[in-house]
Structure 1
Amino acid sequence: MTEKTALVVSAHSADFVWRAGGAIALHAARGWKMTVVCLSYGERGESAKLWRQPGMTLDRVKVEREKEARAAAEALGVADIQFWDLGDYPIDLTQDAFYRLVDLYRAIHPAFVLTHSKEDIYNHDHPAVTDFAQHARITAQAHGHNPHQKVLGAPPVFLFEPHQPEQCNWKPDVLLDITPVWEKKRAAIECMAGQEHLWEYYTRVALQRGAQAARNSDKKITYGEGYQAVFPHVVESLA
C-alpha cells in the first residue's frame, strides 16, 4: 500500500498551527505522512513578545521560534517539518528555494496541498507564498522539467483562513470537522508561546467554523477549520 502524503506550505513558523493544525492532526492520526515547510521563522514581524525581552537577538528569536514550531508539530503528529529560513518582512523567495520546493513536490507526491490565501493586505508574505507554492506545483507537473523524474499529478490545493478573512476576499467553501483532534490542535497552539495573544482568538475561530459546519450538515460538530478550494472538485458521485 502506497503511503498517503500531504504538504503544508507555511509562510511563517506559526501559520501552520493556527490555520491548518486540525487538518494536519486529523490526517496524521489516520496514518498520513504530513510534511510541513516553514519558509520563514516569522522572526521580525510575528515575534513581538520575544523582542520585548532584554538583549534579544535575531538568531535567538529564530532558535525560540523553531523550538516552538517543532513542539507544535510533534503535538500534531507531523512526520517532517522543515525550516528554510528565507527571511521575514519581507520573505525572500529565491529561485533556489523555488526549485527546492519543486523537488519536494516530486519527492513526496502529495495528495493535497495546504497554503495561504491569495490576498492579505495585512501581510504580503502570505499571498507571495501561495503564489510561490502554486507556481512550484505547476512546474512539478511539467514533463519537460527534469524529465527523468516522475511528474506530479494534480493534487488539490486548499487555502487556509487568513487572520481577517473579510479583508482578504477569502470565502470558505470547505468546512472540516476537527472536533476529534481539537485537543491536539489546542496543545499545538499553546506551544506558540511567542504569540500567546492569539491562542483564544484561534479557539474562537475553530468554534465559529465548527458551528458553521454543523449547520451545513447533519452532524454534531464543535470545532472546525475553513478552507477555500483553488480547483474544482472531481468526484464520482454527488451523494
Structure 2
Amino acid sequence: MVSAHSADFVWRAGGAIALSAKAGHPVHVVCLSYGERGESQGLWRKEGMTIEKVKQAREDEARQAADILGAEITFYDMGDYPLTPDRAAADRLVEDMRRVQPGVILTHVERDPYNLDHCFAHELALRCRMVAQAAGHPSAHPPIGAPQVLCFEPHQPEQCHFKPDLLLDITEVFDLKRAAMAAMGGAQGHLVDYYTDLGTRRGVQYRRNGGVGAEHAEAYESIFPTVATAIV
C-alpha cells in the first residue's frame, strides 16, 4: 500500500487491509508524508501547534490505526502540499517493494484535481513497481513479479474519472475499519461519518451487482488486465 498521507490508507482501504491481515497475509503500508500541512485541519485549530507537533500526532494516530487493522507501517516523511520528487525516497520504495514482494499494490487514482499529492503517489507507485521488476536493477532482494495495482476510491470520484471494477465485501471487518477511522479523528474527524456512509452505499452496490449479504464494501479500480485460463 502506497499512501500519500498518513490517513489515506484508513479512509479508503482500511477494510481491504483488515481482511488481508485477518486471513494471515502480511500487509505493509508506506505513508509518503504525515499530511502535516494540508491534511490536519483539526490539529492546526489547536493553540500552540507546530509542524513537528502535528507530525508526531499524525504518526501516533496512524500507528494506532495500522495496529487496529493489523498492518506494518512505514513513514517516509517527504512533506505534503506539495509532495515532491525525491530520488532517495523512490529508491527506498523500490527496495521496500523488493523486500516485501507484494502480491497486490494499493494506491491512489491517477487523476485527482483536488489533491495533486495523490496523483504524485500514484505515479511514484507505478514507477517504483516498474523498477522493482527490472532484473538489472541492483538490489539486495530479487525482482518482484507482476502484482496487480488497485486504485482505491478518491474522495470525489466523479471528478477523478474513477470507474470501479471491483467491489470488496468488508462487512466482517467493518468494526475494525470504523475503529481505525476513529483513531484518525483528531485531525480529520469530519471524514469518519463520510466514509462510514460510503461503505454502506458501496455495500448496496455490491448486492446489486450479484453479491450476497454485504452490508459494507469498498470500491477499487484495477490498472492491469486480470489473467485467466477459463471463463466460467
Structure 2 length as normaliser, TM-score?
0.97
Q: Which runs of 5+ in 2 are unaligned?
A: none
Q: Measure how far apart 1:218 and its partner are.
A: 4.1
* Corresponding residue number in structure 2 for 1:223: 216
Match of 1:152 among 137, 144, 163: 144
Deviations 1:92-114 (A, max 9, x none): 23000001011011111000000
Q: Which runs of 5+ in 1 are unaligned?
A: 1-7
- C-alpha distance in 2 between matches for 1:191 and 1:148: 36
Percent pairwise identity? 52
Q: Measure how far apart 1:149 and its partner are.
A: 4.0
* Corresponding residue number in structure 1 for 2:188: 195
Match of 1:143 among 135, 140, 150: 135
8 Å Cα contact 2:106-2:149 kept in structure 1:
yes
- C-alpha distance in 1 between matches for 2:207 and 2:95: 39
* Corresponding residue number in structure 1 for 2:198: 205
Q: Measure how far apart 1:147 and its partner are.
A: 6.8
Deviations 1:4-54 (A, max 9, x none): xxxx00000000000000000000000000000000000000111101111
- C-alpha distance in 1 between matches for 2:224 and 2:10: 24
Match for 1:180: what amino acid? Answer: E
Match of 1:171 among 163, 186, 204: 163
- Is 1:17 the counterpart of 2:24? The answer is no
Match of 2:67 among 49, 61, 74: 74
Match of 1:32 among 25, 29, 40: 25
- C-alpha distance in 2 between matches for 1:134 and 1:172: 18
Secondary structure of 2:73 counterpart: strand
Secondary structure of 1:33 counterpart: coil
Match for 2:145: what amino acid? Answer: G
* Corresponding residue number in structure 1 for 2:84: 92
Secondary structure of 1:96 counterpart: helix
Secondary structure of 1:153 counterpart: coil
Match for 1:30: what amino acid? Answer: A
Match for 1:214: what amino acid? Answer: R
Aligned length: 231
- C-alpha distance in 2 between matches for 1:135 and 1:202: 29
- C-alpha distance in 1 between matches for 2:117 and 2:205: 29
Secondary structure of 1:127 counterpart: helix
* Corresponding residue number in structure 2 for 1:5: none
Q: Measure how far apart 1:235 and its partner are.
A: 1.9
CA RMSD of aligned residues (A): 1.0
Deviations 1:38-92 (A, max 9, x none): 00000000111101111100000000000110111111011x1001100010012
